[in-house]
Structure 1
Amino acid sequence: MIAVISQFFNTPSETFIRDHVRGLAPGRTVLICQNPDGADQFGYPVLSGIPRPSRLSGLPSRIAIPARQCWLAYVREGICRSDEDRVVEFFRAHKVDAALVEYLTMGALFARACRRAGVRLYAHAHGADSTVMPRKYLWRRRYRHLFASADGIITPSRFIADRLNQIGCPNEKLHVSPCGVSPERFTPSQRESGRLLFVGRFVEKKSPHLAIEAFARIATRFPEARLDFVGDGPLMARCKALVRQENLSDRVVFHGYRSTEFVQGMMQNAAIFVQHSVTASNGDMEGLPVSILEAMASALPVVATRHSGIPEAVVDGETGILVDEQDIEGMAEAFANLLAEPHLAAAMGDAGRLRVLDHFTQRHTRDRLRHAMMLPAMARPLDFTEGLGQ
C-alpha cells in the first residue's frame, strides 16, 4: 500500500500531484494532507488536517513565517507528536509500506513519522523547495536529516538532482523522473497561423512580462500575430500595464486561471508555445514545467530559455528554440523565425510530440516512480535522463 502525502490535492497548477495519485498504485493508495478540499475526488482513504495549522498562523506573515521556520529547524523535528501519532496509526491501519511525499519541505516534516512506522520514504522535489529553501541555513539543516533518513529523493530533472547532490544528498538516493503528460489528451494542434500561447503562473521565475516585451518587438512585422495568456498571479497587473503601454490590447488576451480542458483547447489552436523562465531574485527556479511538455505533446514548437531542466526536454533547433535568460531580443527573433517559416515551426512541433511519446508520457512517469520506489536500499538508482540526449 502506498501513501501519497501533499499539503493540497486541488491546487490548479499541481496536476502532476493528482497524476501521481491516479497512476502510481490504483486501488492501493491512501492520502494524507493538510487541507481536505479535493482529496475526495480519488475515492481513497484520507487523513486530513496534517500538519495542523500553526498557532503562529494568526500573526503577520513577516513574523509568523520566520518564527515557524526557526521552530521547525531547531526545536521541532517534524509534525507535532499528536499529529505524528495519527499518521503512524493511519499507516499501520492501512498497511502502508511506502510513502511518496510531494515537496522536500513536506518530506522533512514527515520523516520521523515514517521511521516510527517502518514506512519507506520517498520525497519528490519540484522547484522552489529545491532552489529557494536550500539557500536558508535552517532548511539546509532539515534537508540533511531528510537525505539521511529517506529511501529516495525523486527530482524532475538532472539539473535539480545535481543541485541537491551539491547540498549533501547522496547520489545513490537520487532518482531523476520528469513529470509526464497524456498524449491522448494533448493531441496535435491545428496550428492557427500567428497564435502564440503562454500557460503558467504570473510569477517572477516564469516572467510573462518578458514574453510580452519580446512579442512587442516583432508585433509590427507580424500584424496577424496574437499572444494568449492562461494563468494568473502577482505579475498580472504589471503585464496588463505593459500591454497597454505597448498598444497591444487588441492582440494580447489574458484568460486568467482556467481548467485543464480549456488549456487543451488553447493548445489545439496555437502555433507556438512561449515561456521565458528565469532565476528569480530569491533563487526560485523551475524543475521541468509540465506546460512545456503539454505543448510538445500538442505538437507545438517551444520558444523558451536555457533554464533549469528545460533543455533536458526541449532540443534547441529540433523541437523548439532556446535563448538565454533575460535575452528579450533573442526571444523576439525566435518568434519572428517561426512566424515567418510556419513549415519549420510545424516540423519542430512534430519532432517535439515524438520526443514526448518516447520519453515524457504519464506511463513513463508511472514506471519510473514504481521502479524507483521498489529499488533495494543499496542498489544503484535509475537515472532516467539516460537516453534523453539529443
Structure 2
Amino acid sequence: MTATPKNKRVLMLCTAARGGMRAVVEAYARDGLFERWNVLLIATHVEGSMVRRLGAIVRAMTRFLSLNLSGQVLFTHIHAAAGGSFWRKSIFGLIARLFGHAVIFHLHSGHISGHIDRLPLVGQRIAGWVLSRFSCVVVLSEVWRAFVLRIAPTAEVVIVPNYVVLPTMEPVDPIPQLAEQALNLLFLGFVGSNKGVFELIPAVARARSAGYDVRLTIAGHGEVDKARRMAADLDVANAVSVIGWVDGERKLELLRAADVYILPSRNEGMPVSILEAMSWSIPVVATRVGGIPEMIDSGVEGLLVEPGDVESILGAILYLAADRHLLPFMGRAARRRVETEFSKDVVLPKIEAIYEKLSRT
C-alpha cells in the first residue's frame, strides 16, 4: 500500500443518519481503512429538524473549506444518495475539484436513476456534467454503471459492491423444518412505502388466512405507527411485531431467530441488510430492483419477486412455507455468495486500489 504523504488526509463525506450508507462507512472505519489512509470523516447531514440539518451542512462546509485551504487534503471520498443528497454532495465535490483535488463520488441510493430521469432535460445534462467532473464515480452494481454512463459517457465508473464481515457460526445443517413450525420472517430497514412494508403486511395476513403460521418482525424507523395500525386493521397484530430501530446485540438476536429475510423494496442500490442476512445463512426474499438481482439468483440464495406486487410477495412466502426443506440449502448458498463476492477480503481491496491510484496522481 502506498503510504499517505505526511500531513495529508483523505476527506470522507457522509451522512450521520442511520441506514445502509452509514453502515458502509462504519465498516471502513472498523476494518482499518481510516487508519491506513488517515481518513477524516465529515458529517454533511444529520437526522432531526431543519435547523439541525442546516447547522450540520454549514459546519461541514466550513471545515471542508478550511482543510482544503490549508493544503492538508490528499483527495476526497464522497458518499451520496439521491435527491438533495446528490446535489449537496456535488457542491462539495466540485469545490474539491476547484482546489485541484481528486474526488471519488460514491453513489449508494437505488433512487438515483429515477430522480435524475424525472428531471427536465437540462437537469439531466447538468447531472451528467457534474458526474463527468469527478475523478471516479463508484457504483454498487452493473445496472447503476450503465445508468451513469448513459448520462455521463465520459465518466470513470467503477463497480464496488457493499460488503459485510462474515459472522463466526456453525454451518447450517440441511435438516428440513417441520411444517407445523412458524415461519419467521424478518424485515430490517426504513418502515415506509418505498421499502414495500405496506405490501408485505397484507401478504403475511393472506398467508395466515391460508392456514400458514407465518410471523413477521419489522425493525426500523419511519412510519412505524402506520405499520402497526395496518397490522391491527388486518387482524394480524399478534403475528406482526413492529419494534422500531434496533442495532447491536438485539439486531443479532433477530438475525439468529429468522428463517427468511424479506425486503420487498420498490427501489434499491445494494442493501447492506440483505448481505447481513445472507452472511447469517438466511434465505432472502427481495425484489428485482437495483443491484439485488446481482446479489441473488432466484431459487438459489432466495427468491426474487416483483416490486409493489402483493401477489408476488405472497407467492414467495407460501412457496417457502410449504417447502421448508429448501431453507437450509438456500441459506448455505447465500453465505457462500457473500464469502466469494461480498466479503471484506474481496471488496475492501477494490476501494484501496482506487485510493492507491488517486494517491499517485
Task: Answer whether TM exceeds 0.5 for this pair.
Answer: yes
Q: Secondary structure at the match of 2:138?
A: strand
Structure 2 residue 259 is the aligned partner of structure 1 residue 271: yes
Q: Specify the alignment match of 1:74 in structure 2.
A: none
Q: Specify the alignment match of 1:26 in structure 2.
A: 35
| Cα gap change, 1:169 to 1:259, in 2 (>3 Å) | farther
Q: Secondary structure at the match of 1:52?
A: helix
Moved more, 304-313 or 158-167: 158-167
| Cα gap change, 1:206 to 1:350, in 2 (>3 Å) | same
1:276-325 CA deviation, whole Å, 9 max, x = no partner?
Answer: 111xxxxxx31011111111111111111111111100111100011122
Moved more, 338-347 or 13-22: 13-22
Letter in 1 for 2:152: G
Structure 2 Cα separation of the partners of residues 223 and 50 of structure 1? 48
Letter in 1 for 2:337: R
Q: 1:136, CA displacement in angstroms?
A: 2.7
Q: Specify the alignment match of 2:230 in structure 1.
A: 242
Q: Specify the alignment match of 2:304 in structure 1.
A: 322
| Cα gap change, 1:128 to 1:313, in 2 (>3 Å) | closer
Letter in 1 for 2:209: T
| Cα gap change, 1:319 to 1:215, in 2 (>3 Å) | same
Letter in 2 for 1:183: L
CA RMSD of aligned residues (A): 3.0
For 1:160-171, what aligned pairs fall within 5 Å after superposition? 160-170=144-154
Letter in 2 for 1:179: N
Structure 1 residues not aligned, in runs of 5+: 38-47, 54-78, 279-284, 378-390
| Aligned match for 1:261, one of 249, 255, 279 | 249
Q: Secondary structure at the match of 2:193?
A: coil
TM-score norm. by structure 2 comes to 0.81
Q: Specify the alignment match of 2:355 in structure 1.
A: 373
Q: Specify the alignment match of 2:101 in structure 1.
A: 119
Structure 2 Cα separation of the partners of residues 187 and 107 of structure 1? 42
| Cα gap change, 1:8 to 1:356, in 2 (>3 Å) | same
Structure 2 residue 16 is the aligned partner of structure 1 residue 6: no
1:43-76 CA deviation, whole Å, 9 max, x = no partner?
Answer: xxxxx977417xxxxxxxxxxxxxxxxxxxxxxx
Q: Secondary structure at the match of 1:247?
A: coil
| Aligned match for 2:69, one of 82, 89, 100 | 89
Structure 2 residue 299 is the aligned partner of structure 1 residue 291: no
Q: Secondary structure at the match of 1:26?
A: helix
1:227-266 CA deviation, whole Å, 9 max, x = no partner?
Answer: 10011213x3332222112110111101101114322210
Q: 1:145, CA displacement in angstroms?
A: 3.6
| Cα gap change, 1:205 to 1:170, in 2 (>3 Å) | farther
Structure 2 residue 24 is the aligned partner of structure 1 residue 16: yes
CA contact (8 A) 1:84 1:113 kept: no
Structure 2 residues not aligned, in runs of 5+: 48-53, 81-85
Q: Specify the alignment match of 2:77 in structure 1.
A: 100
TM-score norm. by structure 1 comes to 0.76
| Aligned match for 1:184, one of 152, 167, 170 | 167
CA contact (8 A) 1:133 1:140 kept: no
Q: Specify the alignment match of 2:213 in structure 1.
A: 224
Q: 1:169, CA displacement in angstroms?
A: 4.5
Q: 1:149, CA displacement in angstroms?
A: 2.0
